[in-house]
Amino acid sequence: MAKFKIGPPDSDLPGRPSSRIRPPPDYTRRSIKLRIFVLLASLFAILALAERAADPRTWHWLTKMDERAQPQPKVQNRLIPKAARTESDPLGTFVTSTGSDDVSENGEPAPAPSPAENPADAQMDPVERAWNQGWRDLLRTLDREQREILFRWLLAGQKGEPAPEAIRPDSVELLKLIDERWNDYHATAFQSVQDLSPDDRLLWVDVLRQVNGRWSGEVKPALDAIAAGQKPDPKQQAAIGLLESTLRHLTLELVQDDTVFRPAERDIWFHLVAQLQEMPNDQLGVRAPEDALYLQMFKQSDDYRGRLVRIRGVAKLGYRIDAPENYLGVDGYNVLVIHPEGGPDSPIIVYSLGLPEGFPELKHRDKDGGTTKLHEDVVITGYYFKRWAYPAPAGTYTAPLIIARAPEWKPRPPLAEAMGRKQWTPMQVVAIVASAALGAGLVFLFIIWRIRRDTRESLTQTFNAPEDQPDFNGLNAQPSAREALADLSRQALLQPSTDPTASQERDT
């Protein structure tokens, strides 16, 4: 089909449409579809930018331009696999397991090291050292259910309440068993000091008498009252507090860094959870020291274990998991992956018992296998537990693990409120003005380009439909000047002349 292009509006060519109305677009053409797609994509991009601009944290770089960027410390938190103990042994070597790394053959905690292998105990007062060793040996002989009852006694004594009705029958039998085994330890210890020199024998006999008096005169009467369903008096509560401090120290010794959760760590884990549940909010904030840094906990894990710490950072990921059956009624944990404030670019794992009101809901990983991406500023106060090992696509990594009750969190403030609190420096004002000028210049250039493109399209019209094509019927086009002169010359030559002189000249 022929196409005819009509000239600009001031052209005097006939057939030019008198109206400047453009024909409607053909929506089946690919170019029209592409133009609509670009317009819709631009609209969505503008809406996304508007939503992002409403977040105050988007503009934090403006408020911190005068601060020098601190280099992030590098941390090697990838766990290097240890070589097998039998790697260099001949094929067929038989190895027996002593259970020293985790649990014994019957599933109970492995035997604790002797005092000679505990530098901290070796520097203790002799009475405290003998007292700890007695309970260390006694705990090794109790099974899981018996240790749980023992820790429930401690919880009830700290609250000034009797033992729960459900465990009272078992409490009487367990207290009788503990008393018998304590007397056996006391008798064995007296027998062992007989081989010492007279001066050392006299010293250690006095130590063992003080230790036995602490048990029979202070701790045992308090446990008898709780197991019998009585409320402990203040003196008995103090004795139970002494026993709680001892058992807390001994069970924290069983926690090992760079490992996953181990059965030997169950008792102290739930004991710390119980402490968080019973601690008032005002004491939780007062007892926590200054903010702990990532490197402090990562490199000094033994020093921070079992201590209240406070960290600040951004929750990047979260999910919920089920908790094993326990006597505290805890049915699950909210696991948060925290990017610590001030770096490094390595996470801190937090097991939280609850979440503040309004906090984004977390997916349940044990049910649907999903996780929730977050970007929330939080402050965590809880007990540091250990340097925990977790799997990742590139290998096994370690991270500080904290048990917390609930994070401190505030919703995002409005943009005007967040930016109005800051006093703008000259450098920040210059950056804002330059950014606004750059944006205005880009918009101006886009408008100019669009106007010029529309003008070119309006000056040149293309008609594709037959009815829109111009009609040249009846057009009487005049000859040009050259053609008119040539025609007159031909007529002069063909016409006869009566002038004899002209005839003679024509003949010549």
Check residue 404 and give left, alpha or beta (phi > 0: left; psi -120 to 50: alpha): beta
Residue 115 is predicted with a pLDDT of 40
Instruction: Tell me the average pLDDT of the chain.
Output: 79
Could you tell me which residue, 427 or 98, shows the higher pLDDT?
427
Q: What is the pLDDT of residue 481?
A: 78
Tokens of 123: 């520097």
Pairing type for strands 395-404 and 332-340 reads unpaired
Structure tokens at 277: 């549940």
DSSP 495: S
The least confident of 191-205, 230-244, 450-464 is 450-464
Q: Which helix (H) or strand (E) holds 320?
A: strand 308-322
pTM exceeds cut of 0.85: no
Q: What distances in angstroms separate CA 190 from CA 31, 112, 337, 485, one per listed residue? A: 99, 21, 52, 148
Distance CA 31, CA 272 (A): 67
Burial (CB count <10 Å: 0-12, 13-18, 19+), residue 249? middle
Domain boundaries of the chain, sorted by first residue: 115-252, 289-412
- Residue 218's closest CA among 143, 131, 140? 131
Cβ contacts of residue 35 below 8 Å, gap of 6+? none
**Rounded distance between C-alpha atoms, residue 333 and residue 351, angstroms:** 6
pLDDT tens column, 472-483: 666 666 777 788
Q: What angle do CA 210, 216, 219 make, to 5 degrees?
A: 100
Under 8 Å CB-to-CB from 146, ≥6 apart: which residues? 174, 177
Mean pLDDT of 341-353: 91
254 pLDDT above the threshold of 60: yes
Q: Between the CA of residue 28 and those of 31, 34, 389, 415, 467, what are the distances in Å?
A: 9, 11, 59, 44, 21
Q: Which of 407, 326, 334 is nearest to 152 (CA)?
A: 326
pLDDT at residue 454 greater than cutoff 50: yes
Phi and psi at residue 237, in whole multiples of 5°?
-65, -35
Predicted confidence at residue 490, as pLDDT, reads: 82
> What is the C-alpha separation between 190 and 244, in angstroms, rounded?
25
pLDDT digits (tens, 9 = 90+) for 143-169: 999 999 999 999 999 888 888 888 988
Alpha helices by DSSP H, listed for 143-264, are: 144-159, 168-192, 198-214, 220-227, 234-252
Whether the predicted pLDDT of 8 surpasses 80: no
Region 18-34: what's the mean pLDDT?
A: 71
What is the number of other CB atoms lying within 10 angstroms of the CB of residue 378?
Answer: 24
Confidence check: pLDDT of 372 > 90: yes
Q: CA end-to-end span of the chain, whole Å?
A: 59
Q: What is the pLDDT of residue 435?
A: 78
Q: Which whole number is the average pLDDT over 290-311? A: 91
Give CB contacts under 8 A, 24+ apart, made by 46-54: 53/415, 54/415
How far, in Å, CA of 334 to CA of 296, rounded? Answer: 24
Average pLDDT, integer, range 162-178: 91
| Cβ 264 vs Cβ 254: under 8 Å | yes
CATH architecture of 289-412: Beta Barrel (2.40)
pLDDT at 40: 82
CA 215 to chain centre: 47
Look at residue 12 in the predicted model and tell me its pLDDT: 47
Distances (CA, A) of 106 to 103, 110, 136, 173: 8, 10, 18, 22
206-225 tens-digit pLDDT: 888 999 999 999 999 999 99
Cβ–Cβ < 8 Å for 109, 253: no
The residues pairing with 51 across neighbouring beta strands, listed in sequence order, are: none
Is the per-residue pLDDT at 418 higher than 70?
no
Residue 66 has a pLDDT of 53
Within 13 A of 479's CA, how many CA atoms are on the CB side? 8
Helices and strands (H, E) in the chain, number of each type: 18, 8
User: Within 13 Å, how many C-alpha atoms sit on residue 407's CB side?
Assistant: 29
Q: What is the DSSP letter of 413?
A: P
User: What is the spatial distance between Cα 331 and Cα 59, in angstroms, rounded to a whole number?
Assistant: 40
pLDDT at 428: 73
Q: DSSP state, 128?
A: H
When pLDDT is cut at 50, 70 and 90, the band that residue 2 belongs to is very low
